[in-house]
Structure 1
Amino acid sequence: MRVEPADIEALFDAIPDVLFFIKDRQGRYTHVNQTMLRRLGLRARKDVIGRTAAEIYPTGLSADYVDQDARVLSGEVIENLMELHLFANREPGWCLTCKRPLVVDGAIEGLIGISRDLGQKDSLGAQYEQLRLALAHLNAHYAENVRMQTLLDITGFSLSKLERSFRKVFQMTPQQVLTRLRIQMAMHLLHGDDSIACIGQACGFSDQSAFTRKFKAETGFSPRAYRARIGGGVGEPALA
């Protein structure tokens, strides 16, 4: 039995909180669902098909998407990556993204992916604003020693409720969310020329070995190997 991409596309049209897309080896969209069109403020698939993320998203977002695509097209699988997306009101919101290589006759011919909304306001009720403030604090202070008590003060939650709410919305604990934010910022900075030790410190890691260990756990690469893959930076000592 052969399943056509258009059939999958039609299935995902019925799911309003999930973006679905297929791209070719050049990163150009070949299939998208209606949710993605609504988020972009577009009416027809023809307005997206054949274009890349860099052509339809703001620079700050598209750079991440293009980098992810390059990793997946080289064979990497991305699972549950927490990232910012634009919603229908053009406001940013958090999603979990999964991308996989699209293999045809043993060769990678493109990629297929989904991005699922994380806990939107309508489904969270009164908890939404408290969690939004907690996430905003983590996002603003990821480079610092973030104390759990600060998040409890911001939300007014007990520790168990905070952990439970984060797991419900983000499928991660507050500490895991903080680590994910730090790693995502480090991935940005590795495009530049700062040393790996400086980047680790700037992203809130206590020492270079801790940074390297966490980075590899999240991405599958050491910071040095990741930098080499993306062609960023300058020569680095072998420690990273």
Structure 2
Amino acid sequence: MVNNSDVFAFYTQNSLDKPSQLFETLSDSFYFAKNLNGRFVYANQLFLDHFKFDGLKSLIGKTDLDILPRSIGEKIQQDDQHIMKTGQAIANIVELIPGNSSKMRWHVTTKSPLLNRAGETVGIEGITRDLSLADKQLEPYSQFKNTVGFIQQNFSESIDISKLASQLHMSISTFERQFKARFACSPSQFIKKTRIAAACKLLREGQNISLTATQCGFCDQSYFTKEFKTLMGLTPKQFQKSLAASTHKIDFIK
């Protein structure tokens, strides 16, 4: 975490709040900000690590031409000038950028004007997602892609956990342990949450509670009501009344 006041001089001078520490939690994306001259005024730690900067202070004042091949840097600068001139963001720019080695890696960038508290453009800010890092983040979940798809398509039917485990050539205990490690809930809990999510949709559409219970894989309305209240904090009837009264919208399952 950077505390040196000199690093954030740009933010103070331009009536900007310091960048959120949320940017430091990104595991596959670079956050950066530049001034009107295209010089870096901030970047998150992942950006600094990727381009091998010792710290934020060593990046401040540099341009894209200082850290990237000229052909790439010039194209980025052209995009930046367009954003600052028009005030319009540019989304999902696909770029090939060198990684830590000489290997080029695919990145997707979205950039927008950096506005101060008066609404004036004082630079640009953006987020660049390294697709190779994104793939690595998804790897632990990809093994269960077909399992999740099967549950989402067949939640209204009885689902046998042992069959789900056998499809992945796992014992039930191994399957349940690895599933919970990735999704923070057991397979049975995941199935239940999938059913409740589907029930919420039907209840919002005005369908009666009994039919909703049947279509979402619950054996009877009483059991459905009990499980729905456990996850949603309201009974199905209370849920529908809250929607009709428009007092608040409930979208989250515990």
* TM-score, normalisation: structure 2: 0.48
Tell me which amino acid in the other structure corresponds to 1:16: L
Change over 3 Å in CA distance of 1:209–1:45 after alignment to 2: farther
Root-mean-square deviation (CA), in Å? Answer: 3.5
1:201 to 202, 208, 214: 214
Contact kept in structure 2, 1:130 and 1:154, CA below 8 Å = no
Q: Which runs of structure 2 are paired with 1:28-177 in the superposition (5 Å)?
A: 42-44=110-112, 122-123=136-137, 125=139, 128-177=141-190
Q: Aligned residues, how many?
A: 140
Q: CA-to-partner distance for each residue in 1:151-198, whole Å, 9 max, x for gaps?
A: 012211111111111111111000000001111111111111321000
Q: Secondary structure at the match of 1:231?
A: helix
Change over 3 Å in CA distance of 1:169–1:230 after alignment to 2: same
Contact kept in structure 2, 1:133 and 1:155, CA below 8 Å = no
Partner Cα distance (2:179, 2:137) in 1: 14
Contact kept in structure 2, 1:143 and 1:182, CA below 8 Å = yes
Partner Cα distance (2:114, 2:22) in 1: 17
Hey, what does 1:10 align to over in structure 2? 20
Tell me which amino acid in the other structure corresponds to 2:223: A
Change over 3 Å in CA distance of 1:38–1:228 after alignment to 2: farther
Q: Secondary structure at the match of 1:43?
A: strand
Partner Cα distance (1:220, 1:45) in 2: 42
Q: Secondary structure at the match of 1:229?
A: helix
Tell me which amino acid in the other structure corresponds to 1:43: K
Contact kept in structure 1, 2:141 and 2:182, CA below 8 Å = no
Contact kept in structure 2, 1:212 and 1:223, CA below 8 Å = yes
Partner Cα distance (2:170, 2:217) in 1: 25
Hey, what does 1:109 align to over in structure 2? none
Hey, what does 2:82 align to over in structure 1? none
Q: Secondary structure at the match of 1:190?
A: helix
Contact kept in structure 2, 1:142 and 1:203, CA below 8 Å = yes
Q: What is the Cα deviation at residue 43 of structure 1?
A: 2.0
Change over 3 Å in CA distance of 1:178–1:38 after alignment to 2: farther
Partner Cα distance (1:158, 1:45) in 2: 53
